[in-house]
Amino acid sequence: MNIFNSLTAKIEEFKPLNKNKVTIYVCGITPYDTTHLGHAFTYISFDALIRYLKFKGFQVTYTQNVTDINDRDHDILDRAKEQHISWKKLADFWTRKFLQDMHSLNWIHPNHYVKASRHIHHMVDLIRDLLDKELAYRVNNSVYLDTAKFPDYGKLSRLTQDQMFKDSLDFDEDLECPEKRYPLDITLWRASTADQPPHIPHLNSPFGPGRPGWHIECSAMSMEYLGERIDIHGGGNDLIFPHHEAEIAQSEGATGKIPFVRYWMHTGTVFYQGAKMSKSKGNLVMVSDLLKKYSPNAIRWLLLSHHWNKNWEYKEKNLIQAQKKVETIESVIARSETTKQSGSLIQQFTAILDNNLNTPKALEFLLDLAKKNSPGLKNLYSILGFRTDALSKRIAGS
């Protein structure tokens, strides 16, 4: 199988570190709102990958995190304050909503679904390690990653300094912090301040009360659950810089094991009405709203009809078409008396997916089979995570 690796910017043969065992870490949500189509695109793309790897005989261990606490994001904290509930309760509520939406789309739950707030001690250990190795520095009670100690900082994103500054601003990096030796240095631990609003929590650490940096969270949790080196690390392409670049420096700096990640896979951004789907633009399309009108399989079809690595624009007419296409396929499956398929069909199907997980082409292939009333459609359809249990019920009930 070949996949596009953002680290080398090449399509490469996929060879896991451990023969038939694959470790995958995908960056998760900040839980303060429901699941939009951009989230669903990332997580369903990786769901298809994981299902396909399992189909090919790999044993997959999948970890995904929940950023329920970090150093800069006040969305959870401010909302919890508005609603007079604890930030943990609010984060738990929206995490459950997210899982509900994703499970509706027949998403396989990760082996480890982990909350940042429960792993503070792992982050603290990692920060101490970076301080011991003099790759980080402490000013007052905050700790920063010394990016000057990493000559290849930028190897994943390949950005110019100007672009790094620009992208950092998009993620609220505190570039003007006077404690930093260099504006692009990464905050590993942000100390509590005397004048911070009372709803901002003070977590304990050997450096003093404060909160962990967002980037160190994923380094610590991937290491805890998957080891010092992992096969695949994924996330949206907006996370390449600074989040994943920082993770590489932190993890490789602490362990000396290079590369920390063998294959970086970044999913495309979903646009709507000409702009990136985002809370600030107010152009979010929520999965829970789509589920009121369309079947989960139709939404999955729409998502997988776009290549995981490319940006795309959501248009409702494409979802209407997706609904028609899954209905065509499902009516053929419901009528079909046999689920047997020929080896050559499987071979053709796997050849398509082996080529950088080309799901759009795999869906076209399925549609072609449906037009030919080909037996064996059901099995191939379910490999990509389309639910077929309801279809059997339909047959049984008819």
Sites of contact with Zn ion (CB under 5 A): 27, 218
Query: What are the two backbone dihedrals, phi and then psi, of residue 67, each rounded to the nearest 5 degrees?
Result: -85, 75
Q: How far is the CB of 27 from Zn ion (least distance, A)?
A: 3
Would you say 247 or 330 has its CB closer to Zn ion? 247
Would you say 36 or 325 has its CB closer to Zn ion? 36
Would you say 26 or 366 has its CB closer to Zn ion? 26
Q: How far is the CB of 218 from Zn ion (least distance, A)?
A: 3
Would you say 218 or 248 has its CB closer to Zn ion? 218
Q: How far is the CB of 329 from Zn ion (least distance, A)?
A: 35
Tell me which DSSP letter residue 34 carries: P
Give 13's contacts (C-beta < 8 A, 6+ positions apart).
1, 2
Sign of CA dihedral 273, 356, 105, 368: positive
The gap between the terminal CA atoms of the chain, to the nearest Å, is 41
Per-position b or e across 199-214, b if 16+ CB within 10 A of its CB:
ebbeeebebeebbbbb
- Please answer whether residues 27 and 265 qualify as being in contact, where contact means their C-beta atoms are separated by less than 8 angstroms: no
**Assigned token pair, 83:** 């609603």
Q: How far is the CB of 61 from Zn ion (least distance, A)?
A: 17
Would you say 25 or 87 has its CB closer to Zn ion? 25
- Please answer whether residues 133 and 257 qualify as being in contact, where contact means their C-beta atoms are separated by less than 8 angstroms: no
Would you say 218 or 226 has its CB closer to Zn ion? 218
Q: How far is the CB of 66 from Zn ion (least distance, A)?
A: 10
Q: How far is the CB of 387 from Zn ion (least distance, A)?
A: 29
Q: How far is the CB of 102 from Zn ion (least distance, A)?
A: 17
Would you say 127 or 319 has its CB closer to Zn ion? 127
Would you say 245 or 330 has its CB closer to Zn ion? 245
Would you say 218 or 333 has its CB closer to Zn ion? 218
Q: How far is the CB of 227 from Zn ion (least distance, A)?
A: 16
Q: How far is the CB of 141 from Zn ion (least distance, A)?
A: 24
**Assigned token pair, 315:** 């248009």
Helical ranges in the chain per DSSP H: 37-55, 75-82, 87-104, 120-132, 161-170, 214-226, 245-255, 287-293, 296-304, 316-335, 343-354, 359-371, 377-383, 389-397
Would you say 244 or 378 has its CB closer to Zn ion? 244
Would you say 246 or 383 has its CB closer to Zn ion? 246
Identify the CA nearest to 48 among candidates 389, 330, 381.
381
- Please answer whether residues 264 and 6 qualify as being in contact, where contact means their C-beta atoms are separated by less than 8 angstroms: yes
Q: How far is the CB of 20 from Zn ion (least distance, A)?
A: 26
Cα→Cα distances 95→30, 84, 88, 279, Å: 8, 18, 10, 17
Query: Which amino acid, 185?
Result: D
Q: How far is the CB of 103 from Zn ion (least distance, A)?
A: 22
Cα→Cα distances 338→117, 217, 349, 350, 374, Å: 50, 49, 19, 21, 10
Map residue 239 onto helix, strand or coil.
Answer: helix
Give 146's contacts (C-beta < 8 A, 6+ positions apart).
134, 135, 136, 137, 181, 182, 185
Report the distance separating Cα 103 and Cα 106, nearest Å.
Answer: 5
Sign of CA dihedral 150, 9, 157, 113: negative
